[in-house]
Amino acid sequence: MRHFFIIASIFSVLLVRAQTDSTKSRFSWDAYAGFYYNHDFNQPINKERPAFTYNHKQTATPALNLLFLKGMYQSEKFRSTVALMMGDYAKYNLAAEPQVWQHVYEMNAGIKLSKKLQLWLDAGVFASHIGFESAESINCWTLTRSIVAENSPYFESGFKLGYTSTNGVWQLNALLVRGWQNIQQPLANAALTPAFQISYTKGNNLFNYSNFFGRMGLGNNRPFRQYHNWYWMHTTKTLSWILGLDLGVDHYSSLQRSWITPVGILRYQVHPKWKIAARYEYFADTKNALGYGALQTSGYSLNTDYTINHYLTLRAEWKHFNDQQAIFLKDATNSNRNNNLAFGLILAR
């Protein structure tokens, strides 16, 4: 924590100085804070949400999921971003990273490779190319993340070659990343692994495919992970939806373990200040590829948002999980069902 405040103080001073002459420096900045409270009806003895969740993790106490301060520089040929963070997202998602890296939300720089084309090469720590959800609740249709988002990368580090067509219809990214959501890896697993993304936008529809191919973990029996992510996002001023499907396969020398995670979200704009959303998801990992046991978990949630003003949003969500096995803590025992009521307050610049 001491490292975070030292870095944040220096960074804040630089931002203030940049803002005094923004016409020359081309600096901009963002700030974000997401607070939440969970009431888990199972009242788990460890006061945490299920093991496969990494955001909005604590129960029965007000908590901070994510706070960050972000500075950005943009010119015709160069761009860079630095964002420092704290909260449960950092605590649980970056637990394996050295302490100083646990407070880095983004840290990257890019150069434009063509005068005529939108072709950029970026390097550093940046948002994941997989999925339609991020750690920033305000940019997601529901207060909490889906199971598939919690178990695929939120961030990645390495290199990204990105192209956007002149009309903005096509977006292509080719990546070499440091494994599956890693910043600083042990030397035994330091090889860069390939990944790819292609997005197509037509009218109100966005179609996306992303993938990842690389070795996982340490040791001699490391699996080779093959991961595919598809989603279709349809957005209008009133009724919108997302349909997604992820498929992962870990290949060992003598066997393979796979999992599949379909998800669907329907959102309706009731009023300029009110939105409601419903989500269904299914997480099938019958061979325990991800280490939570043989999961066949269904999830249902209802979400409502109230926009107070440009900076403040109130969110509430009821979520129900059920599984064929008793995988959820209930007091000090186990149950195959879990219900949770979550409330959130989002402050975003």
CATH number at residue 145: 2.40.160.10
Token pair 């070795």 in the structure block, residue? 215
Asked whether residue 2 is domain-assigned, the answer is: no
Q: How many CB atoms lie within 10 A of CB 6?
A: 11
Which has more pLDDT, 217 or 234?
234
* Arithmetic mean of pLDDT, 226-245: 97
Give pTM, 2 decimals: 0.88
Per-residue confidence band for 219, with pLDDT thresholds at 50, 70 and 90: low
CA distance 30 to 207: 28
- Residue 173 has a pLDDT of 98
Which phi and psi angles does 162 have, rounded to 5°? -120, 140
Per-residue confidence band for 118, with pLDDT thresholds at 50, 70 and 90: very high
- Residue 25 has a pLDDT of 57
Q: How many CB atoms lie within 10 A of CB 321?
A: 25
Token pair 């599984």 in the structure block, residue? 323
- Residue 189 has a pLDDT of 55
Amino acid symbol at 237: K
| pLDDT single digits (tens) 169-205 | 999 999 999 989 988 766 445 678 999 999 999 999 9
Asked whether residue 6 is domain-assigned, the answer is: no
| pLDDT single digits (tens) 281-330 | 999 999 999 999 999 999 999 999 999 999 999 999 999 999 999 999 99
* Arithmetic mean of pLDDT, 263-271: 97
- Residue 70 has a pLDDT of 97
Asked whether residue 25 is domain-assigned, the answer is: no
Asked whether residue 149 is domain-assigned, the answer is: yes
- Position 20 pLDDT exceeds 90: no
Asked whether residue 24 is domain-assigned, the answer is: no
Q: What is the mean pLDDT of the chain?
A: 91
Conformational region of residue 339, where left means phi above 0, alpha means psi within -120 to 50, and beta covers everything else: beta
Lowest-pLDDT range of 179-193, 208-222, 265-279: 179-193
Domain count, the chain: 1
- Position 19 pLDDT exceeds 50: no
| pLDDT single digits (tens) 86-110 | 999 999 999 988 888 999 999 999 9
Query: What is the residue range of 305's domain?
Result: 32-348
| pLDDT single digits (tens) 21-65 | 444 559 999 999 999 999 999 999 999 999 999 999 999 999 999
- Residue 186 has a pLDDT of 60
